[in-house]
């Protein structure tokens, strides 16, 4: 019986230690989430508005200016960008983003992959570890796996500029990005968007008329500088969305783990008290039995 009591005590101590870790991780994620959430909430309306403006401009150029970023080409080669976190312990967040990317690869880029013309660029170690094993036949760009260590705009723009240059030089005919879209601390959605070529406006999205923009001093020169800047901003949104989603998912996961630890410890304490009562009852029985035996001697 003493062995059983010792085992339960050790389990209680182990769960308490684990709970301290989950509480600490929750607090760290909550602190990081506040900053990451503020960054994406400040940026998202600006980035979405710029993206809408870009699509409107490219859909209404009518050959006035040749901008390659909006030109649809026959699909011979493609790049799949997957933005996940570097670390785990954030629930199903990484798994959901990876599933969405796999669906795009298996449906949209199936023929490209069959011809060994699919390149995968992973931002975040979790995605890289998965896709390296799942698609060993694909080409990989490994230079930006640890991008989350430096989320400054110039550093993120290096990645988007590399993709834009590759698209302009016909290395890729299509570039898609899978990432986690942040809604709040408890809700994050996996999303896959086409980065290049810039999707044209669908019927009903615009007003059907030519974009009413005035370009000064020259439309051609202005667009050649403006469009890359908008694309850099859009790509930064993908990364910042995933960054906030990771911390929100981890905070929620650690909160659930802490609550589960409370339930486990409650059950263990009940088991410990039952075992202790059984031990006391047995000792009392042995004492009473011994006293009765002495009286009969």
**CA angle 237–42–238, rounded 5-degree value:** 10
Domain boundaries, the chain: 2-21+255-295, 36-249
Q: What is the chain's mean pLDDT, rounded?
A: 88
Domain covering 36-249: architecture: 3-Layer(aba) Sandwich (3.40)
Confidence of residue 102 (pLDDT cuts 50, 70, 90): very high
Q: Bridge partners of 140? A: 120
pTM of the model: 0.86
pLDDT at 68: 82
Establish how many alpha carbons lie within 13 A of residue 11's alpha carbon, considering only the half-sphere containing its beta carbon.
17
SS3 assignment for the chain: CHHHHHHHHHHHHHHHHHHHHHHHHHHHHHHHHHHHHHHHHHHHHHHHHHHHHHHHHHHCCCCCCCCHHHCCCCCCCEEEEEECCCCCCCCCHHHHHHHHHHHHHHHCCHHHHHCCCEEEEEECHHHHHHHHHHCCCCEEECCCCCHHHCCCHHHHHHHHHHHHHHHHCCCCCEEEEEEEEEEECCEEEEEEEEEECCCCCCCCCCCCCCCCCCCCCCHHHHHHHHHHHHHHHHHHHHHHHHHHHHHHHHHHHHHHHHHHHHHHHHHHHHHHHHHHHHHHHHHHHHHHHHHHHHHCC
pLDDT at 221: 77
Q: Above 50 in pLDDT, residue 200? A: yes
Rounded distance between C-alpha atoms, residue 175 and residue 222, angstroms: 24
Rounded distance between C-alpha atoms, residue 294 and residue 204, angstroms: 99
More confident residue, 275 or 200: 275
Torsion angle of alpha carbons 279, 285, 286, 292, nearest 10°?
170
Q: Which two tokens stand for residue 147?
A: 């991008």
% residues pLDDT > 90 (the chain): 64
More confident residue, 5 or 172: 172
What value does the mean pLDDT take over residues 50-79? Answer: 80
What value does the mean pLDDT take over residues 76-80? Answer: 96
What value does the mean pLDDT take over residues 29-43? Answer: 93
Domain covering 2-21+255-295: architecture: Orthogonal Bundle (1.10)
Confidence of residue 63 (pLDDT cuts 50, 70, 90): low
> What confidence tens digit (pLDDT) does each residue in 236-263 have?
999 999 999 999 999 999 999 999 999 9
What value does the mean pLDDT take over residues 189-217? Answer: 73
pLDDT at 2: 65
């Amino acid at each position: 019986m003493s062995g059983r009591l010792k085992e339960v005590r050790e389990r209680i101590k182990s769960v308490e230690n684990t709970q301290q870790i989950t509480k600490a991780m929750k607090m760290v994620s909550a602190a990081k989430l506040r900053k990451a959430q503020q960054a994406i909430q400040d940026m998202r309306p600006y980035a979405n508005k710029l993206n809408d403006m870009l699509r409107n401009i490219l859909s209404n150029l009518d050959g006035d200016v040749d901008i390659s970023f909006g030109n649809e080409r026959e699909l011979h080669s493609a790049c799949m960008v997957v933005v996940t976190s570097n670390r785990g312990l954030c629930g199903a967040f990484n798994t959901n983003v990876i599933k969405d990317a796999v669906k795009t690869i298996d449906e949209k880029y199936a023929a490209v992959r069959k011809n060994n013309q699919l390149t995968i660029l992973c931002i975040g170690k979790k995605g890289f570890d998965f896709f390296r094993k799942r698609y060993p036949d694909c080409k990989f760009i490994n230079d930006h796996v640890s991008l989350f260590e430096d989320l400054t705009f110039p550093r993120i723009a290096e990645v988007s500029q590399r993709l834009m240059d590759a698209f302009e030089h016909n290395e890729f005919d299509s570039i898609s990005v899978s990432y986690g879209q942040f809604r709040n601390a408890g809700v994050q959605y996996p999303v896959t968007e086409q980065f290049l070529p810039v999707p044209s406006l669908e019927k009903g999205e615009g007003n059907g008329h030519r974009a009413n923009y005035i370009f000064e001093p020259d439309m051609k020169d202005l667009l050649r500088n403006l469009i890359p800047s908008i694309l850099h901003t859009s790509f930064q949104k993908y990364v910042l969305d995933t960054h906030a989603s990771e911390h929100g998912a981890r905070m929620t996961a650690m909160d659930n783990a802490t609550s589960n630890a409370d339930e486990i410890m409650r059950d263990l304490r009940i088991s410990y008290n039952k075992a202790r009562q059984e031990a006391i009852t047995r000792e009392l029985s042995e004492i009473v039995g011994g006293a009765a035996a002495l009286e009969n001697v």
